[in-house]
């Protein structure tokens, strides 16, 4: 291949176009390299519904076995179910074949170590990359090929997530769920068998070509059908999942989108009732309203960088009960610090049941500021642009920190600007106490960047 395959090994996973950038041969080599780096005895392997996933999973499994480790094949599952299987059953590592929310021509791998600990580029994924691309593999110790064991784990996963709430307290809500033809189409029906709610299913057919809309609920365009269904069917709640069903976004009963940071605050309220005084992590892109809500409900807010592997490490160090991101990722201590959109959804249903209020009325006192949403800008020289922005606003007397990218704060407004880990983009998030405050700051930032 003329293509430089090192570039598909991202900060937190492997992702590329099949077969131009990622093919079965690389999957096989990555499987062998994984065994050499992590030295596991047993590796759980799952895959999503993408057209290329079964072949990539088969190649990955062959590579792992040829290097001497046993494979527990858990089949067609969501990413959060893969993490559960590694944590619950004590497997030494896990691989999920998925490209999450990317277009259908993409695929990739999410790799974790024991206890569902995420593997990142600076924590072993770089070694797997180098060994896989070199393609030189020693014979396994003893020359024995690993065994292959089939295991069904979804019923146990559903039983696990149900333990996070008292289902007897949940009211008989009418809930529209948009699976986007992704893995939620498999997990949601199993979950709702145990809930008193009426399920309105949307695009539950597993189809890796995504015939209805991209399985990327952070994109407002992918939420239009769900918003319409919620209003037309008089639903209490709308829920959308991404392709591998680890991320989750909400729509209130009026069809209004609810941000991932506001959902983080609601899940925090629900969990702080069960675990008073606990630490809750939130990333620095979240609204100022998130730490304020955590404090108001007796919790300890802890600000983190963006990125699941970083957040999970911090959560372990701080014994945080929960962590949330604006991007719709929600992490739970009692879920091996791994993501679960299902648990987050159950927490919101539990909160709605307790408050006996529509979702919009629960959201209203939390969502009391105005955000720009994430603005993505193509910039040739990202470091120079960030330096230019910092100089401009520090000269105005603003507080600046470089904890993750650059955050500039005024009393009534703030913004963060970060370079993307995976694309040639600057990501800008602006928030103000009022629309005027947000828009003035947003326009000033974009002018300085030159956008």
Query: Out of 53, 100, 278, 350, which one is annotated catalytic?
Result: 100
Question: What is the SS3 assignment for the chain?
Answer: CCCCHHHHECCCCEEEECCCCCCHHHHHHHHHHHHHHHCCCEEEEEECCCCCHHHHHHHHHHHHHHCCCEEEEEEECCHHHHHHHHHHHCCCEEEEECCCCCCCCEEEEEEEEHHHCECCHHHHHHHHHHHHHHCCCCCCHHHCCCCEEECCCHHHHHHHHHCCCCHHHCCCCEEEEECCCCCHHHHHHHHHCCCCCEEEEECCCCCCCCCCCCCCCCCHHHHHHHHHHHHHCCCCEEEEECCCCCCEEEECCCCCEECHHHHHHHHHHHHHHHCCCCEEEEECCCCCHHHHHHHHCCCEEEEECCCHHHHHHHHHHHCCCEEECCCCCEEEHHHCCEECHHHHHHHHHHHHHHHCCCHHHHHCCCCCCEECCCEEEECCCHHHHHHHHHHHHHCCCCEEECCCCEEEECCCEEEEEEECCCCCEEEEEEEECCHHHHHHHHHHHHHHHCC
Residue 287 appears among annotated catalytic residues:
no
Q: Which residues are annotated as catalytic? A: 100
């Amino acid at each position: 291949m003329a293509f430089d395959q090192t570039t598909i090994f991202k900060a937190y996973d492997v992702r590329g176009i099949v077969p131009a950038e990622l093919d079965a041969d690389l999957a096989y080599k990555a499987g062998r390299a994984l065994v050499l780096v992590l030295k596991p005895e047993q590796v759980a392997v799952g895959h999503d519904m993408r057209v290329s996933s079964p072949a990539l999973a088969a190649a990955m499994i062959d590579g792992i076995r040829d290097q001497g480790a046993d494979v527990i094949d858990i089949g067609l599952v969501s990413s959060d179910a893969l993490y559960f299987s590694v944590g619950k059953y004590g497997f030494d590592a896990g691989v999920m074949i998925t490209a999450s929310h990317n277009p259908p021509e993409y695929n990739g791998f999410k790799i974790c170590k024991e206890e569902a600990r995420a593997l990142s580029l600076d924590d072993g994924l770089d070694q797997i990359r180098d060994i896989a691309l070199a393609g030189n593999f020693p014979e396994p110790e003893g020359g024995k090929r690993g065994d292959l064991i089939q295991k069904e784990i979804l019923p146990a996963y559903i039983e696990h997530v149900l333990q996070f709430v008292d289902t007897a307290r949940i009211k008989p809500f009418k809930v529209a769920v948009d699976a986007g033809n992704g893995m939620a189409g498999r997990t949601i029906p199993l979950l709702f068998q145990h809930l008193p709610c009426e399920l309105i299913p949307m695009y539950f057919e597993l189809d890796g070509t995504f015939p209805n809309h991209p399985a990327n609920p952070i994109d407002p365009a992918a939420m239009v059908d769900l918003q319409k269904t919620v209003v037309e069917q008089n639903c209490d709640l709308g829920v959308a999942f991404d392709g591998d069903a680890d991320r989750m976004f909400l729509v209130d009963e009026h069809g209004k989108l609810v941000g991932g940071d506001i959902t983080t605050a609601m899940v925090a309220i629900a969990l702080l009732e069960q675990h008073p005084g606990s630490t809750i992590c939130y990333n620095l892109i979240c609204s100022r309203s998130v730490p304020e809500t955590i404090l108001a409900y007796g919790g300890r807010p802890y600000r983190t960088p963006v990125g699941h592997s970083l957040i999970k490490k911090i959560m372990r160090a701080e014994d945080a009960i929960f962590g949330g991101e604006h991007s719709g990722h929600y992490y739970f201590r009692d879920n091996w610090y791994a993501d679960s959109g299902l648990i987050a959804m159950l927490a919101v249903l539990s909160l709605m049941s307790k408050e006996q209020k529509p979702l919009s009325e629960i959201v209203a006192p939390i969502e009391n500021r105005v955000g720009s949403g994430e603005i993505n800008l193509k910039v040739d020289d990202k470091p120079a642009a960030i330096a230019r922005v910092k100089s401009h606003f520090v000269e105005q007397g603003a507080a600046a920190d470089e904890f993750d990218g650059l955050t500039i704060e005024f009393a009534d407004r703030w913004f963060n600007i970060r370079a993307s880990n995976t694309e040639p983009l600057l990501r800008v998030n602006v928030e103000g106490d009022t629309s005027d405050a947000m828009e003035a700051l947003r326009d000033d930032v974009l002018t300085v960047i030159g956008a």
